[in-house]
Amino acid sequence: MRIVIAGGHGRIALRLERLLSARGYEVAGIVRDPEQGDDLRDAGAEPVLCDLESATVEHVAGILQGADVAVFAAGAGAGSGIERKDTVDRTAAVLFADAAERARVRRFLMVSSMGADARHDGDEVFDFYLRAKGEADDHLRTRLGLEWTILRPGALTDQAGTGLVRLEADTGRGSIPLDDVAAVLAELIETPATAGLILELLSGSTPVSVAVKDVAGN
């Protein structure tokens, strides 16, 4: 299985790449800075240079050709302004979904955000972020050629993962270690029965594999 991850040098992506490569998958991470390549190789992933903020759908579809799974884990990041919330968190996510559909990639995972809502009100940068993520999620749901799953983690922390989570359609607010987000994504990739679900994720009391099987109805 070949898996291509947008935002390949991100805090979630590097963790996910290590997990997937350890499971024997062929993993590629899209980055725009060639100096990040060694970090991806150390994580067991192939770096692919591409700036999703300026790329065309056709170019990204070429990168995705032959992939079995596409994961959008890119983000403008803390400290970025309204403009990059739009160009990365919305526009790049939309482009990546369109490119995946064009390349006939069946499985697509979107790393979204708890509270993402295209109709979210407010004028702060975080309000724009939640609207951008919501609009990207809404667009993905219209891509009939994709078997998509949208994951909406709570507040991300650098604490060591516990492997225990709460994964439901509606969890309420809370936090989740980055390690556990990556672990859930790895399980979702291996669980196609979660296609069509929008899931919220927090720290909890259920082992990751059990939590994913539960939402998949297994």
Instruction: Give the SS3 label for residue 37.
Output: helix
In this structure, which amino acid lies at residue 71? V
DSSP state, residue 191: -
Q: Is 62 helix (H, G, I), strand (E, B) or coil?
A: helix
Q: Is 168 left (phi over 0), alpha (psi -120 to 50) or beta?
A: beta
Q: Is 105 helix (H, G, I), strand (E, B) or coil?
A: coil
CB 145 within 8 A of CB 171: no
What whole-number distance in Å separates Cα of residue 120 and Cα of residue 114? 12
Phi/psi of residue 108, nearest 5 degrees:
-140, 125
Catalytic residue among 25, 72, 129, 148: 129
**Catalytic residue flag (residue 25):** no
The set of catalytic residues is 129
